[in-house]
Amino acid sequence: MLAQGNTPTVEQERLTRSRRELFKLFLGEKQNPTPFYEAIAARTFATFPFAVDGRDVLDLGCGPGHYTTALRRAGALVRPIDADESELTASGGAPGGAMAADARLLPVRSASFDGVFFSNLLEHSPDTERILSEIGRVLRPGGWAWVAWTNGY
């Protein structure tokens, strides 16, 4: 918060504009979800704490590929996987290289990925322990996992 009489910095103004733009997109999310989710994905990787350029990344629970697209724009080599084939085509077409598979038993070699990204997957699964175990199996030594979910409370 700014004290009364203080002028916001350029960065504070940019952040305020960005939040307003995202909120406007959120208001239209039910009618047209793609712009909102593309903006969320782009924001996520704009300040991502892990290097993705040239890295093999698994986008687990990729859905229609909003995060896949943003990761690829950031230079990652992405394997998108989702258990629900209808989710893969929700925005008109599956992301390139997409595969339908169960996150509890991934059809990939052990130590295949530098990173695993997944958002809003755990709250849809009855077996989170098995999914987390699979993520550990497919990560290379020193790899990272980005785990995010919507707080439903």
Q: Average the pLDDT over each of 11-20, 86-95, 112-121 and give the range with the smallest value.
A: 86-95
Q: What is the pLDDT of residues 108-137, one digit of tens each?
A: 999 999 999 998 887 878 888 999 999 999
Answer whether residue 151 shows pLDDT above 80.
no
Mean pLDDT calculated for residue range 4-32? 78
Fold of 51-148: Rossmann fold (3.40.50)
Q: What is the pLDDT of residue 90?
A: 72
pTM, to two decimals: 0.81
Structure-derived torsion over alpha carbons of residues 131, 30, 34, 68, reported in degrees to the nearest 10? 0
In the chain, where the domains are located = 51-148
- Reading across the β-sheet that carries 77-82, which strands appear in turn? 99-100, 77-82, 56-60, 113-119, 139-148
Backbone torsions φ then ψ of 9, nearest 5 degrees: -75, 165
